[in-house]
Structure formats: structure tokens, C-alpha cells
Amino acid sequence: MDQFIFAAEVVLNGLMTGVMYALVALGFVLIFKASGVFNYAQGVLALFAALTLVGIQNGQVPFAHLINAALGTQLHHFGWTVPSVMAIALTALVMVGLAFLIEKLVLQHLVGQEPIILFMATIGLAYFLEGLGDVMWGADIKTLDVGLPQGISDSIETMTDAWFGYGFFIDRLDIWATVIAALLVAALVAFAQYTKQGRAMRAVADDHQAALSVGISLRFIWVMVWSIAGFVALVAGIMWGTKSGVQFSLSLIALKALPVLMLGGFTSIPGAIVGGLIIGVGEKLFEFTVGPMVGGATENWFAYVLALLFLVFRPQGLFGERIIERV
């Protein structure tokens, strides 16, 4: 019985981690659906958003090192702090500006190119943004606190203790992350299905020429989609940043989003969620059951092996659009 309850806790914690994976995967799916681009920079986008948020919040001077080196000044901080809500709003604005620049400087020049070329462009973008984040805000690890509750939830522990005679350890941040992710997904689905812009977005994803012919501006849709992806990245950045600090390894989380996408399918929003949850729970359970037999640390590779199996047996993922070849 104890074992069973412990397993239940593992599953629960896995679900919470899965939500985090899903958040990053969601950004990938959005851009892939709307422009057919696999955006390698999505993870870095989350990092950049988190860095900018911390920077604005703490009143850091952007490009401080550069300015100081060039002018011999000693600028580091403006000497003020910005309230969380305002800092988040400002960061969201920065992400929209970034989307605009990406469209203007990169995508516009690559219209009609092969997907692989666009993919390569996003790899370049990823490294550029990582460097930009470094130069703008510095490479030191920062703590991010926007007022989200953290730490083990006492009430859940006592509650479960009373029910099962076993207190579940659940991080309050994880609970909040789940709620926020659910709201975000609901908002995105409503947007894509029921709004004019959402319909236009789906149209652009399907056929550029046809979209143009019904009066849709590709530029507008791309800026919009990258803005939304930037916003999703911001949410993911806040969650991961709060959980484990804002550091450059944050961009590596994006790699975990890959197996999530292979499971869920590159074109499905629900797929990203379910894929994230399966990977989250799967790797925790695997570590719990098989891990001790093989010396542990299975969490590092479990997701990728699962993705590999999917690639072999169901390449379109669980929810991806079926690959139909008309002959």
C-alpha cells in the first residue's frame, strides 16, 4: 500500500513536470502550425523572456557591460524596482517587438524558401538571441520571483495525510503552473477556433497563396504568431525561472520539448499537452520502477527513447494530422 501511494505521488509530480514541458512544446506547435517553421529558438525565447523580465524587475541597465566598457562609466542599475505585473506587461511588449523584428529582419527575406532553410534560420536566431540575452542582461544566474507561491503545500500534505495516512509532497508552484497552463491552452484554443485572426492563422498555415487571395496579410499573421509564441515563452520562462532560477541552461529545456512534440504531433495543441504529461509521468515512473535496476539517471534518456519508438511506429505522433499520400 505504501508503495502504491508513493507511486501515486510520483505520477502526480510527473504530471506537474509534464505541464512544464508542455508549456515549451506549445510555443513550438503554434509557430509550426502557422508558418510550417520548426522554431529551434523557442527554448531560447523562453530564456530571453525570463532574462528580460528579471532585468526589468530589478531595474537593471540593459547592455550595462557594453556601455561601461565603451564609456568608462559604472552603470549597473537604475536604482528602482518595477512591480511584477508591470514588469510582465513590459516584457510582453518586448516580446511583441522582438516578433516584429524577427519577421522584418529574418522571415520576410525567406518567404517561399524550403522549410529546412527556415529551420536553419531559427538555429541562427537561437544563438543570436542567447548572445543578445547575455550582452543585454549579463550571464550570471538570477532568481526570479514574481510573487507566485512556492514551496511544499502544507494544506495538501495535511489533507492527504488525513485521508491516506500519507502526506503528499506537492510544490505549490507546480499547482499554479498547471492552472496557468490550462488557462493559457483554453485561451489559445478559443483564439484559433473562434476568432477572425485565429481562422486567418489556420489559413496561412495551410496555404500561403490561398490565404493571400482571400485578403490575409502574411506579415500581420506572422508577427502575430511570433508574438503569441513569445508570450507563451514568457509564461514558460516565468515558470521555469521561478522553479530553477534564470540561467542559460534554461534553453536546453527546449530539447525536452522535442520528444514531447514527437509524441503529441507537431501540429496539435492538445497533443503538446498530452505529450508533455506522458513524458513527465513516464520518466518519473520509469525512474521509480526501472531506475534502481540500471543505476538511475534514466530521466536523461527515457524521453528520447520513447520518442524514437514513436518515430518508428507512429511518425505523425498521437494527435498529428495523418500523413496521407495521394497517388
Partner 1 sequence: MNQMSTEGYVTADGRQIGGVLMEMKNITLRFGGVVAIKDISFDIRQGEIRAIIGPNGAGKSSMLNVISGFYHPQEGEVWFKGYRRGPMKPYQVARLGIARTFQNIALFDGMSVLDNIMTGRLNRMKAGFLSQALWWGAAEREENENREAVEKIIDFLEIQNIRKTPVGRLPYGLKKRVELARALAAEPQLLLLDEPMAGMNVEEKEDMSRFILSVNDEFGTTICLIEHDMGVVMDLSDRVVVMDYGKKIGDGTPAEVRANQEVIDAYLGVAHD
Among 81, 158, 195, 300, interactor with partner 1 by CB under 8 A = 195
Distance CA 56, CA 205 (A): 34
| Count of Cβ atoms closer than 10 Å to residue 290 Cβ | 12
Q: How many residues does the chain have?
A: 327
Binding segment (CB under 8 A) for partner 1, from list 46-54, 59-67, 147-155, 194-202 = 194-202
Binding segment (CB under 8 A) for partner 1, from list 132-140, 153-161, 199-207, 252-260 = 199-207
Among 116, 293, 324, 327, interactor with partner 1 by CB under 8 A = 324
CB closer to partner 1, 194 vs 313: 194
Distance CA 29, CA 31 (A): 6
Single-letter amino acid, residue 230: G
CB closer to partner 1, 71 vs 214: 214
With binding defined as CB under 8 A, does residue 209 bind partner 1? yes
Q: How far is the CB of 204 from partner 1 (least distance, A)?
A: 9
Among 145, 154, 161, 206, interactor with partner 1 by CB under 8 A = 206
With binding defined as CB under 8 A, does residue 203 bind partner 1? yes
Among 110, 179, 190, 290, interactor with partner 1 by CB under 8 A = 190
Inter-axis angle of helices 2-35 and 253-264, nearest 10: 90
With binding defined as CB under 8 A, does residue 323 bind partner 1? no
With binding defined as CB under 8 A, does residue 115 bind partner 1? no
CB closer to partner 1, 7 vs 96: 96
DSSP secondary structure letters along 272-315? HHHHHHHHHHHHHHHHHHTHHHHTS-GGGTHHHHHHHHHHHH-T
With binding defined as CB under 8 A, does residue 197 bind partner 1? yes
With binding defined as CB under 8 A, does residue 185 bind partner 1? no
- Kindly list the distances between the CA atom of residue 84 and the CA atoms of 15, 44, 90, 241, in Å, as whole numbers in the listed order: 27, 22, 10, 14
Contacts of 20 (CB under 8 A, 6+ apart): 177, 236, 239, 240, 243, 253, 276, 280
Per DSSP, 321 falls in state: P
Beta bridge partners of 77: 60
Among 81, 217, 289, 300, interactor with partner 1 by CB under 8 A = 217
Among 181, 200, 225, 260, interactor with partner 1 by CB under 8 A = 200
With binding defined as CB under 8 A, does residue 70 bind partner 1? no
C-alpha cell at 278: 506522458
Q: Which residues here bind partner 1, judged by CB under 8 A?
A: 187, 190-191, 194-197, 199-200, 202-203, 205-207, 209-218, 321, 324
